Amino acid sequence: MPEEKKVQLKRLNSSKVLGKFMAEYYYELDNAAKTGEKKIAWCTSVGPAEILRALGFLVYFPETHSAMLGSSRMATDLIPKANAVGYSPDICSYLTADIGAYLAKVSPLATIFKGIEGPPKPDVLVFNTNQCRDVQDWFNFYGEEYKVPVVGIHSYVGVQDVTESHVASISKQMKAMIPLLEEVSGKKFDEDKFKEAVALSRECSDLWKDVLDSASAKPSPLTFFDGTTLMGAAVVGRGTKKANDAYRELIAELKDRIANKEGAIENERFRIYWDGMPVWGRLSMHAKLFAGLDTNVLASTYCNSWIFSALDPDDPFDSMARAYTELFIVRADDPKEKYIKDMLNFFKVDGIIYHDAKTCPNNSNCRYGMPQRLEKETGIPSLTLNGDLNDLRLVSDEQMKTNVEAFIEQLEERK
């Protein structure tokens, strides 16, 4: 009988530091919600967090809660609850899982962090549609439920080149939300604090980029699956000093691994670029599947989405506007393809996997011929996996496994 390879995943020691950071982050939010000591703003993951920090808000990001609903595999049972109140099973399963959890009054936070019952009640909800329109609908739901204001930035989509007019428009929208945010926070907007938050965000972005760039080493000290959890601090903590300190420890460990030629997986034979969302409920399964095939999925569009190199504390509004519009997800296919080609080259990639996430069209870049165009241009083969970020009803494990194994066999034939 053929034996299935047993794979033991390697853990980074500094992931504990980042875990501690996340715990402190959620306890601080929980305490603020219970005591009212600080105001809480909910923000989309690529929303204007720096403005909120400058006004003294603690910032909560519902998308991380949704990712936790996915990775804890709670999401699939909760999504139908949101479907039943009018949110289609075809729309963002972050949205439907999170609203489903709200309706069912459950949260993975309650399981992971003793004493926390669930997400902190918001005082205001702030979105940026640079990711998708779903975030606006998601926040509007909570605006109604909690009877708090919802304010947002309406971004451009399919941006070819980021122009001054894009920047001016987004910058204007950010400035326009400040009076309402001042009213909710009870504080006057402080330009110096704002610049400080932008400077810390930029630093966080640079550190996070160093983390991800370390995967260009052969063997790579990092996997995409590590990155999806390590990025938590870049998402929820950008604009804070604590997040930056946590990443410095991580970078030191990654540098050690590189110096010792220690790969994140044993015997790295193939290097894969992942485009699209992870399947949160299958992170460990997928990490083991690839490691068992001596293959490292080591770089991704997704983890790179929290690199904002345009941020400049000397020009805070416009640089934020530029950074949050330069984002991959906002762009037209031409700049997206150029970006991926650069990544393939930089990370010395053997193959690309596109995750076609059923409920996340904006993060599924394989639907308009991009895999075929890039393969023709670069000669690097690709595979498309059909699945979803959170809704495991849309995931076939056996099909994914067969597809991945067959793709690695295909790469073997090329060597």
Partner 1 sequence: MTMGKTDMSERPRTESSIFVGTDVGSSRTKVAVVNPDKELIGYSIEKSGTDFTATADACLATALRMAGTNQSNIKAAVSTGYGRNNVTCADSTKTEIGCHAKGCFYYFPQAITVIDIGGQDNKIIKLDDHGHRTGFKMNRKCAAGTGAFLEEMALRLDIPIDDLNDLAPKSTEMVKLGSFCTVFSATEVLENIRNGKRVEDIVKGIYFSVVKRIMEMDSFTEVVVMTGGVTANNPYIVTLTEELIGRSILVPEHPQLTGALGAALFALENNCS
Q: Select 89 or 381, whichever has its Cβ closest to partner 1.
A: 381
Nearer to partner 1 (CB atom), residue 48 or residue 387: 387
Out of 51, 78, 343, 394, the only residue in the binding site for partner 1 (CB under 8 A) is 394
Of 8, 314, 376, 398, which one interacts with partner 1 (CB under 8 A)? 398
* Stretch in the footprint of partner 1 (CB under 8 A) among 117-125, 287-295, 306-314, 404-412: 404-412
Residue 377 Cβ vs partner 1, minimum distance, rounded to whole Å: 15
Q: How many residues bind partner 1 (CB under 8 A)?
A: 18
Distance CA 225, CA 15 (A): 12
Judged by CB under 8 A, the stretch of 51-59, 112-120, 243-251, 407-415 that binds partner 1 is: 407-415
CB of 269 to partner 1, least distance (A): 17
The minimum distance between CB 402 and partner 1, in angstroms, equals 5
Give the integer Cα–Cα distance in Å for 315 and 336. 26
Cα–Cα distance, 69 to 50 (Å, whole number): 26
Q: What's the first-to-final CA gap in the chain, in angstroms?
A: 28
Told to check if 192 binds partner 1 by CB under 8 A, we report no
Whole-number Å distance between alpha carbons of 377 and 337: 10
Nearer of residues 210 and 375 to partner 1, judged by Cβ: 375
Considering only residues 1-40, where is the footprint of partner 1 by CB under 8 A?
Answer: 1-2, 4
Task: Provide the mask over 317-356, with x wherever binding to partner 1 is found by CB under 8 A and - wherever it is not.
Answer: ----------------------------------------
Closest to partner 1 by CB, 23 or 406:
406
Q: Coil, strand or helix: which one is 241?
A: helix
Of 307, 317, 297, the C-alpha closest to 339 is 307
**Whole-number Cα distances in Å, 301 to 7, 37, 155:** 26, 38, 20
Residue with tokens 């970020």: 389
Distance in Å, CB of 99 to partner 1, minimum: 24
Nearer to partner 1 among residue 226 and residue 388 (C-beta): 388
The residue (of 106 and 394) whose beta carbon lies closer to partner 1 is: 394
Give the torsion sign (CA, 96, 100, 102, 108): negative
Q: How far apart are CA 183 and CA 118, in angstroms?
A: 26
For residue 116, give the nearest of 58, 233, 33 by alpha carbon.
33
Task: State the minimum distance, in angstroms, from the CB of residue 176 to partner 1.
Answer: 44
Does 396 bind partner 1 (CB under 8 A)? Our answer is yes
Instruction: Find the part of the chain contacting partner 1 (CB under 8 A) among 62-70, 194-202, 310-318, 396-404.
Output: 396-404
Which residues, numbered 357-386, are part of the site for partner 1 (CB under 8 A)? 375, 381, 386
Count CB atoms within 10 A of the CB of residue 110: 14
**Length of the chain in residues, anyone?**
415
CB of residue 3 vs partner 1: minimum separation in angstroms?
A: 8
User: DSSP string covering 176-198, please?
Assistant: HTHHHHHHHHTS---HHHHHHHH
Surface-to-core class of residue 414, CB atoms within 10 Å of its CB (0-12 exposed, 13-18 middle, 19+ buried): exposed
- Closest approach of Cβ 396 to partner 1, in Å? 5
Question: Are the C-beta atoms of 18 and 243 separated by less than 8 Å?
Answer: no
DSSP state of 219: S
90 or 256: CB nearest partner 1? 90
Nearer to partner 1, 259 or 406 (CB): 406
Separation between Cα atoms, residue 180 and residue 182, nearest integer Å: 5
Q: Does 88 bind partner 1 (CB under 8 A)?
A: no
Two tokens, residue 227:
């990155």
Residue with the two structure tokens 């299958």? 282
User: Smallest distance from the beta carbon of 279 to partner 1, in angstroms?
Assistant: 13
What stretch of H or E contains 354?
strand 351-357
Residue holding tokens 């402190």? 24
- For residue 146, report the phi and psi dihedrals to the nearest 5 degrees: -95, -5
Specify the residue, 31 or 386, whose C-beta has the smaller distance to partner 1.
386
Is position 147 an interface residue for partner 1 (rule: CB under 8 A)?
no
Candidates 111, 160, 267, 399; binder of partner 1 (CB under 8 A) is 399
State the minimum distance, in angstroms, from the CB of residue 385 to partner 1: 10
- List residues binding partner 1 (CB under 8 A): 1-2, 4, 375, 381, 386, 394, 396, 398-399, 402-403, 405-406, 409-410, 413-414
